[in-house]
Structure 1
Amino acid sequence: MKQNTFLITTVLTLAVGSVFLNAAPVISEFMAANDTTLADEDGDFSDWIEIHNPDGRKVDLDGYFLTDKATNLDKWRIPAVTIPAGGYLVIFASDKDRSNPEAALHTNFKLPSKGGYLALVAPDAVTVLTDFGSTYPLQFEDQSYGRDSFGSVTQQQLISGALPAKYFVPSDDSLGNTWQDLPDSFNDSAWTSTTTGIGFDSGVLLDLVGDTDLGNSTLKPAMQAVNASCYIRIPFTYDPNNNQIQSLSLSVNCDDGFVAYINGVESGSYNKPGNLSWNSNATGSRSDSVAAADPIVVDATAGATQVVEGVNILAIHGLNRSTNSSDFLIYPELTAAVVDTSGAQREGFFNSPTPGVPNSSGQAAGPLFVNFTDKPERPIAGQDLMVMAKMEAVSSPVASVTMFYRVMFGAEKTLLMNDEGTGSDALANDGIFTAAIPGADFDSGEMIRWRFEASDELGLETKIPAFKDPADSHQYVGTVAVDPSIKTKLSVVEWFVQNPARATGTSGTRGAIFYLGELYDNVFFNRHGQSTGGFPKKSYNIDFNKTQRFRWSEDAPRTKDIDLITNWADKSKVRHVLGYEIMRNAGVHAHFAYTVRVQQNAEFFSTADFVEDADDIYLKRAGLNEDGALYKVYNNTLTGSANSGFEKKNRRDENNSDLQDLINGLAQSGTSLDNFTFDNVNIPMCVNMMAAAAVIRNIDMHRKNWYIYRDTGKSDEWALLPWDLDLSQGRYWRSQFNYFSNLMETNGYIETGGAVRLVAQLYSRRSTRAMFYRRIRSLHDLYLQPSDTPMEERYYERRLNELSALIDPEDIVPSDAQRDFEKWGSWLHNADGGSAPVVPYTTNHPDVETMAEGVQRLR
């Protein structure tokens, strides 16, 4: 039997917590989304599990098990390690499967952050000592979960809705402050009985409280033209058993002001005069619409210590702006934040993770969403959309589940979900709560989003989606109603944005994307590109949240970002897609790119090219080192400073010194430069990319529009990677034309990219130049066959036909290409420089080309 000395010093902290006699070890804390909290011996931030020994004696864990499968309780055997009395052991759940008792321990499984099973099992491989039900809840980055005697805080409504109350309009100051006291200190039996809200009006305020007494109240003749002040007493009860009030919040719909007292102690006010008396006026006025829609919320915690067991009094001195005011309202709600003082052991989230030491304070978990509707079959307008949530109790029985839904960018609507076997619910009390979004609420092509809130009998709440970070998480799940008017052979991107104009700027805006059956909410959009930023049909960056990465293909990992690239300048609409395709087929680690149809707010928007963004996910997908340094080049030719003209796409916690070393090395000459190049550059990878660029005639690789990549930590060699291939395959940038040239350039420029110092170095050396031309020959034979090649064997002719059949099919009228042409128009050949004339598609001019005409010129 060994004691894990490695963990004592570097991972395991032994600390004395609660000690009991004959108590079994337990999982006291775990983390399933370890981003920065605790690194293992490899420097990886692996998931981790903390085991606590609450017994008064040390425990030998030899033969105990950890598992993530309820059907495989002996999945990972703990080796012979001991935990002292009251001590803790941290085991990494990394899937590295390391069981040396004198080193850090690692299980043969990981912990999914979306929820899963986790258990500590006794040596008999049958007895479960600790688990977290059938599944633990959704976990969040760098927040741990476990069991403890949480002093959980819940919200308790002390006063809400229409409750019994009494009012009195004073005629002098004879009551003093006695009217604010508890019932045993003040007799209000002579006051007028009513219910909250209290006031008089015949319009907006009456609609707010839904009380006909407000419009025909005896308060109006007692108060109007008599006194701008009214005294109000509202009793409420409180049970302090296992509860302690942490704070009080008072919300009051008022017209025009108030001073509130809890058992005689002033606890909040609004529009209060400096010298309050029995006939005071409010210092300001509020319109009916504001009073109804915008309650005044004040911190009433000053009265918290006065709250007693049993009956209490909220006394309110209501204030009108003047005695002749036409309306008056006091409609209060009093909410207490209550701390659970029972000491009961519950599951929950810890405020600060504490691997290896006693747990910190935290918040007990509310009901568990085991499953819920987030990717339903697309509904049809007019047919109800059924939504379900399968619930499990965690701390106490589930009390209610509420769904909040909205259509497009309309206001939220509320549905109380049902588990009673009635209406939309199939079976009573099976833990599956259901609700139906009325089909009449949405039209074809419209976005429907929803979120859930559940509470238990203790008042503990769970929200799904959690929406913890408004800048990097989704607020809703949802879908889009089927749009039968869409006729296309392309993949369809359905884009929803409340203010489309804001998406065209660099500051951007947020919205949603629906693609391949999934809705991505709270997605960030802004304009992409430099020179293309002035196009009427723009490119866009689309940044997805950490909680909803984008699935662009069933066969590839989800990605963080994607670019929606304009093809407006390319009248054939195929150059981006074909350029990247040839690069990839040639063995270049190039982006994926394909054409999609874009709908915006349920209307046709464009055809555009989906192009992968550059990050570690791209590197891994492309077969490169995901930890390799990647720089996007905006204005540099590998000269001067590495801090100018480059954007680092990953490893951003480091500086650019590695790139500076490359630049300095390439600044050498002669043999030193040759040796440096051969020692530090992946020459085959660079030569292959240069040859592929030559075959597609990519003339836009100079001080920008490419990447420089390093295989960091492995070969440490540098290589070139492509970006921005629209000026290729006969399209050319000339200063007098800019983008807008109808010329088909067919001569020159075999050696492209020579402005880049590394490329120039490879061109200048006989050996690498020979490699370059040999590779051009082999690629030329594959993609640029001679004219006597049978048509079906010609790459370009075949692919042009295939892409035309997708974007501009003859059997769909109008095709997507035609719709795009009609929406965005065209441009005229800019023979005089400056900005090209943008013209509607109906313009009678030879430069105004359909896609079919642009493809024909490319042939």
Structure 2
Amino acid sequence: MASADENYRDSDGAPSDWIEITNSGNNEASLEGCYLTNNNADPTRWIFPQTKIPAGNSIVVFASGKDRKDANELHTSFTLDRGGDYLGLIGPDGFTVLSEVAPNYPQQYENISYGIGMANGAKSLSLVKFGSNVKYFIADTDALGNDWKKDPSLFNDSAWSEALSPLGFESSGGILEDSILSNIKDEMRGTNASGFFRYPFTFDSDSKQITSLELKVIIDDGFVAYLNGVEVGSFGKPSPFLWNSSSTKSRSDNIVKSTPIVIDLTSHRSALIDGNNVLAIQGMNQSRSSSDFIIDAELSAQFRDTSAGIQYGYFINPTPGKPNDSVLNGPPQEITFSKQSCMFTQSFELSLSTTTPGAIIRYTTDLSVPSNDRKDPSPQFTNPIIINESTQIRAQAFLPGSIDGQVRTESYLKMSQSIPDFSSDLPIIVISTLGKGSPPGTSSTTRREAYMFFFEPDPETGRTVLSGSPQLTTRAGIRRRGSSSGYWPKYSLSIETWKDGNDDDRNIEPLGMSREADWILNARYEWDLALMRNPFVYEVSRQIGRYAPHTQFVEVFSDT
């Protein structure tokens, strides 16, 4: 992530670039003494302290420039270039490349990460379903030891009883009675608080990369679960744990019936084997004389189809520290408008285009962001759009298998016949809400969406006119500013300038002023009709070396 992820902040609360490193092997890996670098000419730029990654897990290193080597939160001494750069993981010898993105990763986009993933999307796989056939055995000695937990190639359960789950027993009229399909009361109650249960399943590992594994168990009361002999989860496990143990925890029958116990087994996904597998569970009652018992299990996985191969691409839902989703290509090229934002008097045709083959363009005229949703898509651009009244066009390009293009916004305001003849020796700002109404009051926590045009004097004539091209245009959010002054006929405005695609801040530099996204249009009206007092004091303050806001006199046209 090379665009300071707002949704994944460091311990300082700051958004940061980050780098995810995954151990895809079956054994723990150490990064101690290895290096991260964003410059292939400087391979030892940042060194790892003692750092270990368990098999199948990932770590996240913040590329913040803070250079911290706390084992709980790592920070490199460099940041990532959003425009594209080299990135490499270098071995302890300082020159062996363990992994790299070379020569450069491509341009990065806000809230979108980049990395290694699959060309095909994630899929679900049901390994063991609720209601499956299960082999079971109620032991009266410890003769089986641990063998019964092992995979089918190492343990033969053909002599065990077989039943359809859920299985167990319940008193007549009890809450669990109607949920039990196979009654094992005669075998289990009074014999053993524990029962051994084996759920066989097959797994074809061809072209599959398991990204998550989850176990759900319906149980009254406790259990210990094994995947091919590897302990993967438990509830109510006593110590010491024996072949005839009782659960240390209990659950009400209503909870048992409505809420299975869920355990994330992703860290144990390496226990899966190609071919025949077994989920073995020792189910435990609170005592061998308990009046009821039930057990059922479900084992499910998410996987990526690797038949199309592993490749680099973008992820619209970043998952730092977790498995990556399927990759997407970069966005279509930016949309070109045949006419930029302007004021007009005569109707005209507007065309939209992109140079990306196969991309479609969708647009809106109601100020909303275009949608490519199959159920309710925005209009697709096919023919020129007639602009004969004040209109805002927001357009976006879409291409299957790619991240969505950037939203482009242009606005066209129709002038009355007298406006084109107006001129001023001051810059002119035009503000329009395009028919959406006046800005909210001074105490409002929301803003009215608007569009702004900045016109500057012609260098030769020294006059500003509205019939030419504006020097700057932008989306904005406006509301009234002040207390009692916020309700004057000529009120001041608090303005945030916004990006084309969303309402995030867009820093602009209008009229030679400093780069900023928060602005004030200050209309003193009754208290300073000459509009001189504040600008004068601000200027004096700056001249004596003190901070003060910069100001610029402007003419304002507004339909708010």
Q: TM-score, normalised by structure 2?
A: 0.45
Which structure has the highest helix share of the two? Answer: 1
Bigger RCO (CA 8 Å, 6+ sep): 2
Structure of higher CA gyration radius:
1
Of Structure 1 and Structure 2, the greater strand share is in 2
TM-score of the pair, normalised by structure 1? 0.31
